[in-house]
Structure 1
Amino acid sequence: MSRLSRPAGRIASGSAVLARRLGARAAAWVRRGRRDDLTGVKAALGCWARLVLLALGGYLLWRLVRAFPNLLWLLSAGWLVASWRAGREACAPAVEEVPACPDVDAVRALLLEAMGEADAVHLRTVLAHLQERGHGEGWTVGDLRARLEALHIPVQLKVKVPGSKSPTRGVRRVDLAPSPAVAEEASTAPSTAA
């Protein structure tokens, strides 16, 4: 390994994080264009308008770079700096997460705690709940979703929570069935008492 492999890896991982964040923000911005007071095609017109604006912005940026090729140096330098910063954040949590593998039942309990009395909870709410307790620093909603799916906890694409304007990824209470060991203990307990 050369001396440049570590900085190159940091820039590569930071670039991936940066691309995910920009994609997630763009997708969230487009989703916010949906109107809940309308139905059918009319409700989605705002999303389509925002998508057209994003495409138009990309086209204008491409035309600007074609007209002024030296602008690409400035854009590349900005991307490298942002990737370097994001790479530092991306590498930091990996060191602290390695020792412990979370217990599925503990994660379910945490999700139920974040859910409160509601029937579902959005992943962004769970992430904020985690970060308030000092866990998941530097995580994105995508990172949390990947970890939940690795624990075989189903994440639904569109979950509507009371008080939120639009449905987004989340976890439903009905999907948080207890683990097989807990279910087995619960089923044997009444039979031994009888």
Structure 2
Amino acid sequence: MSRLARPAGRIASGSAVVARRLAARAAAWVRRSRREDLTGVKAALGCWLRLALLTLGLYLLWRLIRAVPNLLWLLSAGWLVASWRAGRKAPAPAAEDAPAAPDVEAVRVLLLEAMGEGDAVHLSTVLAHLQKRGHGEGWKVGDLRARLEALGVPVHPKVKAGGKGPTRGVRRVDLAPSPAAAPESSTASSTAA
């Protein structure tokens, strides 16, 4: 099982990259047809036409596969090769471009700062807090969640905080200070007071 885990992970991550690329290209192609010299519905007619063409193309592809089912083997092989290639390239730039891994204690302090006096904080609030300080540009809540979970910070699916409804968040009880940082945090809190 462990021998197949690495190739399967490469294909899975590459497949996600290929799907995002195709979706981004299709969206960009549709977006480029918007007319800037017109207003209202007339400006978006090109977008609607290209969206209809994409839908028609997908429908024709589906009909072709229904008529010739063996074509799906060829399409699957093409997708597999593209996913394999994209999976090989995907991790390398992410590892090079990624900043050094943040200190768990620094993340805990940041979460407590975003939490304020409350018992919990939503991930959307933490992300806004980060972006206000110039970090996490372009991140989404899912990106933040993945990074927190990689650091071992428990993220709960239904957290109520700030008078808002339940959504993904972090609770104060899960942010117990590490034993090594306990003396530093007590001196830091006494100097801050």
- TM-score calculated relative to the size of structure 1: 0.52
Alpha-carbon separation, structure 1, partners of 2:92 and 2:49: 38
Q: Name which of 141, 144, 151 aligns with 2:135.
A: 151
Shift of 1:99: 5.7
2:52 is equivalent to residue 52 of structure 1: yes
Unaligned runs of 5+ in 2: 103-129, 140-193
- Where does 1:28-177 land on structure 2 (aligned, <5 Å)? 28-97=28-97, 100=100, 151=135, 153=137
- Cα deviations across residues 97-128 of structure 1 (Å, max 9, x unaligned)? 456269xxxxxxxxxxxxxxxxxxxxxxxxxx
Partner SS, residue 36 of structure 1: coil
Alpha-carbon separation, structure 2, partners of 1:98 and 1:33: 35
Shift of 1:91: 1.5
Paired amino acid for 1:48:
W
Structure 1 segments, 4+ long, off by >4 Å, are 147-150, 152-155
Partner SS, residue 82 of structure 1: helix
CA RMSD, 1 decimal: 2.6
Partner SS, residue 4 of structure 1: helix
Identity of aligned residues (%): 77
Shift of 1:152: 5.0
Alpha-carbon separation, structure 1, partners of 2:51 and 2:60: 14
Paired amino acid for 1:2:
S
Alpha-carbon separation, structure 1, partners of 2:138 and 2:71: 45
Shift of 1:94: 3.3
Higher-Rg structure is 2
Shift of 1:2: 1.9
Residue 4 to residue 67, structure 1, CA distance change in 2 (3 Å): same
Alpha-carbon separation, structure 2, partners of 1:2 and 1:33: 48
Residue 154 to residue 54, structure 1, CA distance change in 2 (3 Å): closer
Aligned length: 111
Alpha-carbon separation, structure 2, partners of 1:62 and 1:37: 36
Match of 1:10 in 2: 10
Match of 1:125 in 2: none
Match of 1:27 in 2: 27
- TM-score calculated relative to the size of structure 2: 0.52
Paired amino acid for 1:80:
L
Alpha-carbon separation, structure 2, partners of 1:4 and 1:14: 15
Unaligned runs of 5+ in 1: 103-146, 156-194
Residue 89 to residue 69, structure 1, CA distance change in 2 (3 Å): same
